[in-house]
Amino acid sequence: MGRMGPIGPILDSVGFTAILSRMAEGFIPPHGGYENLLSFRKARIVYDATVHFCDRYVDRRSRTHDQMVQAARSGKQNILEGSQASGTSRETEIKLVNVARASLEELLEDYRDFLRVRDAVLWDKNSREALFVRKLGSQADVSYGTYRTYLETRPPEVCANIIICLIHQTNYLLDQLLKRLEKDFLENGGLRENMTKARLARRDEQRRGK
């Protein structure tokens, strides 16, 4: 697994750093591989958990139900779309990862609202319960199944707090990913720069071959 951060591995061993290290010849870099990003896997857990939570505890006919599910889906899908777009547009990738981050922040507030209007306790990030959820998240091959027992058997207030912890973890990972993307863009540029470099390299190669 990757380097450990405050909430577990920042990226798995075949995540973003490894994708950058496999720079292929030519001007279109390797792209995709979103399922190897821990941020995507965490966002998928948040989506699955939100669908189950909303179906159980939020009126399916309400706007809140649809908005929460759509915010969770946006968080997941925009990481996927950004990863796929990265081959030809680093700018688009950064924009979509930012959209994912914003969607999950919106979802986070919905869960806080759920607790607040019910006068339920919001766990402190260093509480025993939050630390337990954090420990679960550091396991290898983390998935919705890692949390299923707790999310499908505990009271709604506990479930909401668990998902809040998961959103915080995902947002932390996305913040780290955005920093890496910004650093890579500043150091390597985007498609236009890579095309220019490849074209100049080819011309230089052709001149040497004469």
**Which has the closest alpha carbon to 194: 23, 79, 34?**
23
**Which has the closest alpha carbon to 84: 3, 143, 28?**
28
**What average pLDDT does the structure give for the chain?**
82
| Residues 190, 89 contacting (CB under 8 angstroms) | yes
Tens-place pLDDT, residues 38-87? 999 999 999 999 999 999 999 999 999 999 999 999 999 999 999 888 76
From residue 193, how far is each of 22, 116, 175 by CA, in Å?
18, 50, 25
Tens-place pLDDT, residues 119-135? 999 999 999 999 999 99
89 C-beta neighbours (distance < 10 Å), count: 16
Q: Where are the domains of the chain?
A: 4-198
Cα separation, 174 vs 176, whole angstroms: 5
Q: Which residues pair with 136 in a beta bridge?
A: none
| Residues 13, 19 contacting (CB under 8 angstroms) | no
Tens-place pLDDT, residues 153-187? 999 999 999 999 999 999 999 999 999 988 887 77
Q: Note the pTM of the prediction, 2 decimals.
A: 0.76
Q: Which residue has the higher pLDDT, 190 or 4?
A: 190
Quote the pLDDT of residue 10: 41
CA atoms within 13 A on the CB side of 73: 9
Q: Which residues pair with 8 in a beta bridge?
A: 5
